[in-house]
Structure 1
């Protein structure tokens, strides 16, 4: 509704869509992403919070005065409100009271009880009018044989039963007998035992009606602040004169131990109150049943139309649990705030939460559906919440404002309902952002996983794009029809509150009209203002009271009101009582009566509840969390895994083949973390493989050589990690940008290459003052950097170095700052960054230039590799690799290696954490490369020990001298290698995956001395396709690696005789040294595709795909090798600052094949 009110200012009624960089949108988006990523923690924290808030209502007894279902009337409207009227207004009954106070919260002291009995006898024992009290002393006391029944006898009853007056007193528990009171050794036990008895008027002796300022424990009364004696006058005789006379006499003869207020006993002030007790009518029942029935049908129909959930029943249970927790928790908060909720039937309370809660739920689900299915689950949830989170927040704030405005004009009973609804809306919004959001992310993740399992062969794309026409009702439920539903929630709240309020001003049976509502609103406001004035002018007793008379009167429960109405005005729904100010008797020198303390705060109530109920609450929360954890483990054990690194499937290799799309060999392959693949063939065709979780892979073939302008030959390709953009670069400098979302070229421009092949070509994201800027950056060997802005098409050039650039890599730092690290031919290291004025600048790091090696030779940097997640740079020199921290510009460790083949160095590392010294730590670090002479794949693995809890501190060794943490210098180095690895690529699962030919001859026996003869070449007759090997060598012992030897190559005839399907295998090497292999053609389907495949002499190119898969060009086909279950969901890299948008920056796979 707020968007309609803002129409004159905005010019539209459509809700606003926040920009991608708006702080509120980013806050909701980050919260949604974090909740979806840590869904289990979010669910458990929500459950613990709900149990903590619901415990008082569910487990505290009814006598604790905690508002809840046990203290709310069932099927009944009740109220105790101030009534408009003057001194001459005739009331149905007049009420006069005497309050007896001793020490603070010690009204049950025998001295107070005895004095109360004396006062009661002085004021009431002689009766009023014709009643005669003679002979009462001869009646038996409680406990005598004649009074063995539970109901008190007639000792407290008037001599005449004319019912013109009556009284209600706590002394009725002892039958108004001084002897019975004196003989009672345990007053509290007597009160708790006889509580609930009926008096001679059929009034129930309840703590709320005969005591004020009560304290309970385990449902039993423990203390009270005042005894309350009430006298009722049905105005048939008029007892005012007798009452005043007796009070005046009592004041004159009062003992010195007691004080009277007012001192003369004369009370002039009074207030009219209306007590109402009306059962719900048939129309009320039909209305509520219709409302809740329509809500149930709406929920069932909406869930039935949604594909975003796999378990509609489970999601419905989630919604019920969320709303129930919000409602029950609201009772607890209202109890702490002392809001009386006993005026409206309990059936009405869930209404507002259901109306608003359902709207938020389906708004979020529909937005999740609107996101592309190929988007990762955590990003789908985050983007959806960022898109609609501000709308849910605005609607909640709007409804809170509406409820506050309504509470100013409605009756006090409905105002309490408005306060409850406001608290419930806040809790519903909180649980919506935590509990429901986490469960929804799990359900969406289960749906995607089930789709992946259903698509066991990902090589079969779905070509059907026909969209079935939905019926109008289904479209309406899916919220695609432009029906103005944004007003529904607010209109429902206002209408429902006004209908509730109508029950409190229809005593005159006047017709329902807007004029009647307006008149009553003004009357309510005037009554409230008048009561405030009267309470301000009327003096209060100068003592400290735990409960004031006005508070005591308004907290009487609905059962007491029902008995009063039944007695004073039978067959009616209400009566009006004139309540006179009470007379106070206070024990002189009573403790705690002089100082008037501050009102009890919510923190004090929480502290008191914590002191009394800490152990049972903690036990209940622990038990509930344990049960929920077991339930989640049972329900999701076979459907969802938190850590894909665990389980047997995580260490299994699977090979899939995409359908052949090229006529000649693939020469270039590019992929991204979202599963999209781009292959370029010698037949001048470019094939884009789109990955979709629901349909698998679908292909699109382009003839870029025939485009205008032509894009061929292609020398560079790159995809950003968001899976949105593809860049193609031809040798004449033509850069074409393709939208993977819209499936079209959206930009083409000329860039200066000067006849060179770029050494670096990648997307990069940089934060500016206005927005996030996506650029295409490439570096040519002459040291020139070119920056192409995708938004404005502007180009910037910058000279990094006058020397030739031989290697470049991108390092992403905090707050979106990009650093381009380059190595020049003269051995210098250069860092290029963009300054605040949007200008590139470069600096040379003098400490990392050429240096003398141990052999006395000049050692220069030959290539570099950056690891943004650790903030490290790896500089490859001759037979060594420097590991240095980019931020401190200091060397952490130098690894001795064999001759590293240029641009083959890869780094594997475990999940990072924080050290006690503040630096980053990891459990293990692996450096993998291809040796230039032997073509061995060599892996150096560093770890402290075999424990998963041991951490390596990634800080310079110069700082380690003063700390207890252990760095790479203290780590144990393990050495692993693979013969004839073929083509390979590192993954983010601490492993490398490759494709190679199997050896057709036995493994060579001529190796260097000291080598482990059980090296990594699997035997041809091995019964298993997996071989494990672990060996740890000192860091300096590189002689154990095999030396170059000549091997006999099989002849062409031998090649022809061997089955091609048996020649090739996929393999993976774990960081711990475990080698797994599997045939490249694992089934008959793959083997049969060789008929459409070219003869292959060398596999490749290869590119990393997602976190634990690679794509390999094999002739004119593309094969996908997965380690475990790859879902193409999570980001493929981690950054130091999680708020930084990641853009993929590695060099793509290149390869040339023999034909």
Structure 2
């Protein structure tokens, strides 16, 4: 490459020719002579060295995080880079603090060290024995200046009770013994306990891997046998009072001191505050296609060139030798990188063979040509001049990144194996020098004819082979392009695509020490071990196909599924409105306004006009409210925004007039709040007023109604059930003028106007907040009451974790389920609830699911070992950041027919009202979704679709054909209804779209 850059000064691109008596040239000539003379011995020595370097490869690299081995690269760009400073526009979202407890060298697993660590942990966090922070969340006021914090207040802020700006969680190796001093003392085999509980999870589903709770680990046969330090880690939001409490307690411990341990630093204050920036970005489609084309062209170029050289005994044998050398080079480089702890997981694995394939094959071809084309009558010192100088140029490397270090090392090994393995094989394979000279002379005569000179070299190479034009810079250009792509990803990708900040704060204003990221915190390992914090953390949708997602990258993106998946980011450079951190989202009934609830305000965004609207200040104490939605108001241009807090206080915000109204719905903490707003059925010539139904911790049910004088709250006295507990959740049925009052193992159907119980259903133990309902279009029987053709509800059973569906049909086909009082007369076609036919179905391991208007229940779960056939499934496309990218795959089967599917994949399943079950893999062969251990938000989109957040991807799953353009009245009548009976007989067509 340097000779091309020096062309304006030298007038030629050919490398300089060393004098035959030059020492370097003489040494290479002597080496080549000895290799040709002792070719078998040289090959044997080279093979022994390669074997010694290849043998440790499976033990040094692994995708199993049990041992502390290096991680093989994935199909993903990832990095964890310390930032020198943060500006005002970028603040850390999450703070991580840790304490390392050391004993004697590699003796951290001794009972005495464990008990001392437990004492430190309880001093700095409070009592943690049998830690179970699940509590009913109440409004909590905390004074940051207090030196003590009660256990109840501390546990209330835990992330398991709901994500807020005060959330926190911790993980510690002492959780293997439930943080019990007695359990540690009674444990006779600590090593066995540690290895047995390797896959134990915390309350926030963080697996207590050895790589995050121990440091300085030693493994034998994939079992931990010793550790140098115990690592206790606290992860909390920036404004969490638990983090501040940790700081105060650490300072107090440092000032107090102890005879059992020595604190470093002695004052308990951290010496450094280093923010980290995490990048996690799957390989793009264009990159995969470009790499596939590059590797294909490289293989074709090498094979075609080799096949065109006629002075070889066995072209196939030489091709096998070349492939073997490439494998030797590639594996040896990885082994050395693992020995020197070079982390290669930051760059996708597809990029690493570029150096070996292009530079290695180019060097081989140059050597073959130098040996074959040079006449045998020349002195041996004149023969190797072409390759060695050229290869010496190729060895230079930039060394500014992991990729450059790998490239440099790969070129060194390529040069070594080329001289000790490929060159001896070549000397055996090349025919007698006399034949070489004859062929060379004949080629010179043939190529010097006028007809041959007019032939273009590239066309001659394609049809004849062996006359490849000069390619001395192909490998160098490939290397430079690969380095530029890496630089682009790590510079622009971090700043604009997937930005995540993880900082450790202290009183120090700047970083005193720059430290490397711990081995267990490499991006791929950290994300996998920590349960893969999803990028999309909040999502909502409207029935018009508008999807709004909020990611940890502080981007609010709006998608329009109705118009081909077009999307844009909520941003206005000319405005100073900062909606972060986002606590809740809501979309009005017309899909015109998006309401964003932040810590101190509510901001409106105009969806079609892409601009900010009115804002109002509101203080929710940094906690996510129990409900946040738009109400209905026929007079105002913008519907009022309703906020219902956990303490029962409702706030109605009139955004245009900047007026707020409050109502105390209930005096006890609420556990469920549901709006009853979408019933547009006209009653007595008027539209029913909006209502809000709540259930409290004590089981009381209230209905807040908007009357002419304002909002009024009424207490509902539902019948007491002797063998069941109080109501714990509510499900409104606006189209039926009713709602469902849900207890532990029974459900009451209650009329919204009379407050009478229409019917009671007996169920299994219901997991609170999981019950959903679907029903057919509302009918009006001859008796004048409410009528239905079918009715079904589904829930998650607490004991089994299975989804249970209970459907109800009239006893005679064509009849109507009647809501009238059983004591009143009805028509011939009326079927009372006690006369209906009940059917029950169940789904094992349902994952996250939603009930759709079409009567189907659709969910997403981990791939099962055995799946059912997915008939008539069509995967229609991918909804990407720049529009709709078609990836049509028809007649896709379930996971049972995908032998390549792994247990960490996902599948979509559906259950019809008649018990028909269907499943299909969620990820196509084109997707590169890695390290996603938990689903993100799942929400309904339109009558027949759901949106699922999977990492930084939003999947749109449709049953049948979605219609977003229905009229408001029709949509509201069938808001949770089922399709007509003729349509219900059809099997579902699962379609999906992906939003990046």
The two structures have a TM-score, normalised by structure 1, of 0.40
The two structures have a TM-score, normalised by structure 2, of 0.46
